[in-house]
Amino acid sequence: MFGLISDRIDYKTAAILLALIASGLAAIYSATYDAHASAYFYRQLLWAIGGMGIFIIMTVLPFRVLQLVAYPSYLFTILLLIAVLLFGKTVSGSTSWFNLGALRIQPSEFAKVTTALALANYLSRSDVSLRNYRDLIVAAGFVILPVALIMMQPDTGTAIIYLGMFFPLLYWGEAARFTLLAIVAPVVAGVAALFGTTPFLIAVVSMGVLLYITKEHHLVAAIVFSVMVLVGVSVQFIYDGLKPYQQKRIATFLDAEADPQGAGYNVIQSKVAIGSGGVLGKGYLKGTQTQLNFIPEQWTDFIFCVPAEEFGFLGGAIVLLLFMLLLMRGVKVASIVKNPYASFIAIGVTSVFGTHILMNVGMSLGLLPVVGIPLPFLSYGGSALITNVTMVGILMNLYANRKEY
């Protein structure tokens, strides 16, 4: 009996989850220690305790229930995203929150889970093939709808997470190589155009050669190439149409020193904090950048600086190792489950985590633009923490039912 129960529990994933939550609580406590903001730590602690209850529920929930609620839960969160635009609270220029007294709820966080469930449900159907353009467009619609609503808030950072989920699911669903390249090429051209004409031309030529090699139809390849060039050429016009704070974030990404006391301040201080930690760090609660509050509200988007400064390269590496192990467990679960729906869910959930980690750590190191993406389990935020533990609970559920077809 014990052996049967033990075989259904993914102890490795559970241990990784507990380690990450503990790391997050320790980092938030340190970040708020001398900032007269200890209330954030206690709130996060309460969210963590409540989250563990949700984690247990998601772990033991009958697997078939996840499939039954996929479309209804997706529709419900879409309605919430619409409602928040009408009745939500505006924080830092983004109408993303429901303000329920002392409780603030961010629907876009929960919609990540429901979008993954609904998209996985569609992609796992036997009559759906991502090599069919009609099915591909329908699949894209599951992502485009919440992204459009979130961009209206506006919340570019959260919208990126949904797009980061979609591409790996296309790959896992065996979409044609040309299709994957057609999605990536305009993005590569647009980003390259930010760095100047020469990088843009190199990107266009490189992507053009790959499109020619993988082409399925000359006309389609020509259209994709034209769109790629058009996106690159339009970058300046798009940039001019952005809001001033969005322009500053892009300018800071390209050169943080251009505005060291303004838009580039957090990135510069973040790099100083991480670099000053050395190999072993300055010691817990002894990080000067953290304790002297050089980075405002460091317990949110720039929380990675705390373990990196106080525990040095070793501390930062351990946090990244825990994340890497979590991503590896997600891919492992996707590979061993017998049910196609379960496999797609695992990849969707893992992709959400991977995009969060890549974007957050990248912006903390000054390698990516600052777009307000929290670090899973470490950054302060009740909605985000509940969403994250729910996704890990789903992975645990899939592992427990990995032999079901």
Which pLDDT tens digit goes with each residue over 313-336?
Answer: 999 999 999 999 999 999 999 999
CA 106 to chain centre: 15
Residue 5 has pLDDT above 70, yes or no: no
Query: What's the distance, CA 6 to chain centroid?
Result: 31
How many Cα atoms sit within 13 Å of 183 on the Cβ side?
16
Domain ranges of the chain: 11-165+262-400
Residue whose structure tokens are 């559920």: 397
pLDDT band at 256 (very low <50, low <70, confident <90, very high): low
Q: What is the pTM of this model?
A: 0.90
Residue bearing the bigger pLDDT, 172 or 246: 172
Res 260: pLDDT: 65
pLDDT range class, residue 258, cuts 50, 70, 90: low
pLDDT in tens, 65-112: 988 999 999 999 999 999 999 888 877 677 887 887 767 888 999 999
Distance between CA atoms of residues 182 and 177, nearest Å: 9
CA distances from 23 to 11, 306, 312, 316, 322 (A): 18, 10, 14, 11, 10
pLDDT at residue 259, rounded to an integer = 62
Q: Give percent above pLDDT 90 in the chain.
A: 44
Q: Which of residues 214 and 310 earns the better pLDDT score?
A: 310
Average pLDDT, the chain: 87
Task: Provide the residue count of the chain.
Answer: 405
Could you give the angle at which helices 265-276 and 340-364 cross, rounded to 10 degrees? 90
As given in the structure block, the two tokens for residue 18 are 């507990």
Give the confidence band of 263 by pLDDT, cuts at 50, 70, 90: low
Mean pLDDT of the region 181-198: 84
pLDDT band at 287 (very low <50, low <70, confident <90, very high): confident
The widest CA-to-CA distance across the chain, in whole angstroms, is 66
Burial of 184 (0-12, 13-18, 19+ CB in 10 A): middle
Per the structure block, which two tokens stand in for 72?
């209804």
Sign of CA dihedral 42, 48, 51, 52: negative
- Per the listing, tokens 């159907």 go with 125
